[in-house]
Amino acid sequence: MSEWQSFKDSCMHPPQIEQITKADGSRIWRVTYAGMIKEHRQDWQAEWHYRQACEMYVQQLAQKPSEGHHRR
């Protein structure tokens, strides 16, 4: 499997958003997608990154060829 195919396959996992508590007791939002991790204190920033990641995810799904069909 090529490095590019491995990257594309990793993109097929849906984005995740979670609120975490840091060691100092403060809370932040963490958005993860395709190996990226974005952390924000403000919920609107995390929501914006999460929505962007969801759009990329949907685009990746639309571009993935069907199982059993090969592009020529």
**How confident is the model over 1-13, as a mean pLDDT?**
62
Statement: residue 41 has pLDDT above 80:
yes
Bigger pLDDT: 1 vs 61: 61
In angstroms, the CA 57 to CA 63 distance is 10
Structural domain boundaries in the chain? 3-59
Which pTM value belongs to this model? Answer: 0.69
Statement: residue 6 has pLDDT above 90:
no
In angstroms, the CA 68 to CA 31 distance is 33
In angstroms, the CA 53 to CA 36 distance is 10
Which tokens belong to 42? 């403000």
In angstroms, the CA 18 to CA 29 distance is 6
In angstroms, the CA 1 to CA 60 distance is 18
Statement: residue 51 has pLDDT above 60:
yes
Statement: residue 44 has pLDDT above 60:
yes
